[in-house]
């Protein structure tokens, strides 16, 4: 497989019950450096697709490859490692651990991935230094770095989540409805910031949202209903 392909889904089928297929994806690919907008309404199977990509859910058939690493036929531990090494994930909201401060939250992926820890250290000397640089670049003042994340606004928390997804330059960032809690101005600013940072770190981006108006910010846009053959059937 071409290692410029960071994500490839081939002939995926999935269902929580054996004879009831919820998702069938014949082919879906994201190339290195690409940003892809995936539109999906509520209940369309976005979380299921993310679970399949992240290796938390296992397809009934087909293959999922991340940066050339096939994840469907390997052990759960190996899938966890591939996820830790190659994926950065941003959730909709409140996706930080409240009992850790900003830097501890941002460096968390480095705790589970030696590759990302090494990359972060290589860029800035240490994972903590890389985290400091990332969050200040994202507009969070140095005076706030030691603060507990519970004291941050939603917007600040989202920026911390972006920093956490970017640290150690993962190959693919998955953003799951990250702007749904933001107003229009902040939403556009957030996407611009995210795009700028992921370009800087040479990361691909899969941005999942129900809001089609955001599609203009990305290289490609695709509707989950078009992707999922089971839905169209």
| Contact pattern from residue 14 through residue 53 relative to other proteins, giving x for each residue in contact according to CB under 8 A and a dash for the rest | --------------------------------xxx-xx--
Closest contact distance (angstroms) between CB of 180 and other proteins is 10
Q: How many angstroms separate the CA atoms of 112 and 80, rounded?
A: 9
Neighbours of 173 (CB within 10 A): 25
84 binds other proteins (CB under 8 A): yes
Q: Which conformational region is residue 174 in: left (phi greater than 0), alpha (psi within -120 to 50 degrees), or beta?
A: beta
194 binds other proteins (CB under 8 A): no
Matching residue, tokens 């469907």? 72
Q: Which of 45, 38, 31 is nearest to 232 (CA)?
A: 45
85 binds other proteins (CB under 8 A): yes
Pick one of 3, 61, 73, 98: the residue that binds other proteins (CB under 8 A). 98
Closest contact distance (angstroms) between CB of 77 and other proteins is 6
Helix intervals (H) in the chain: 46-54, 76-86, 102-106, 108-112, 114-124, 127-137, 154-166, 184-200, 224-227, 229-232
Q: What is the torsion angle, in degrees rounded to the nearest 10, for the CA atoms of residue 179, residue 120, residue 145 and residue 141?
A: -70
Closest contact distance (angstroms) between CB of 2 and other proteins is 24
Neighbours of 43 (CB within 10 A): 7
Q: Which conformational region is residue 117 in: left (phi greater than 0), alpha (psi within -120 to 50 degrees), or beta?
A: alpha
DSSP 143: G
214 binds other proteins (CB under 8 A): no
76 binds other proteins (CB under 8 A): yes
164 binds other proteins (CB under 8 A): yes
118 binds other proteins (CB under 8 A): no
Pick one of 24, 83, 187, 198: the residue that binds other proteins (CB under 8 A). 83
171 binds other proteins (CB under 8 A): no
Q: Which residues bind other proteins (CB under 8 A)?
A: 46-48, 50-51, 54, 56-57, 76-77, 80-81, 83-85, 87, 89, 91-92, 94-100, 103-104, 107-113, 117, 126-128, 164, 176
């Amino acid at each position: 497989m071409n290692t410029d392909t960071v994500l490839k889904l081939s002939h995926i089928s999935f269902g929580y019950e054996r004879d009831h297929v919820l998702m069938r994806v014949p082919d879906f690919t994201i190339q290195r450096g690409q940003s892809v907008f995936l539109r999906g309404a509520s209940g369309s199977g976005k979380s299921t697709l993310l679970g399949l990509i992240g290796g938390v859910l296992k397809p009934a058939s087909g293959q999922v490859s991340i940066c050339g690493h096939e994840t469907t036929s390997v052990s759960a531990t190996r899938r966890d490692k591939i996820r830790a090494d190659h994926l950065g994930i941003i959730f909709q909201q409140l996706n930080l651990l409240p009992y850790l401060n900003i830097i501890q939250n941002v460096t968390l992926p480095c705790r589970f991935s030696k590759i990302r820890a090494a990359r972060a250290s290589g860029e800035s000397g240490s994972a903590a230094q890389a985290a400091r640089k990332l969050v200040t670049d994202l507009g969070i003042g140095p005076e706030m770095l030691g603060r507990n994340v519970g004291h941050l606004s939603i917007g600040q928390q989202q920026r911390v989540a972006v920093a956490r997804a970017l640290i150690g330059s993962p190959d693919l960032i998955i953003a799951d409805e990250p702007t749904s809690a933001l107003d229009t101005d902040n939403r556009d600013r957030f996407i611009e910031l995210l795009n700028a940072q992921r370009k800087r770190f040479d990361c691909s981006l899969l941005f999942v949202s129900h809001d089609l108006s955001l599609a203009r910010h990305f290289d490609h846009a695709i509707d989950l209903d078009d992707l999922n053959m089971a839905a169209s059937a």
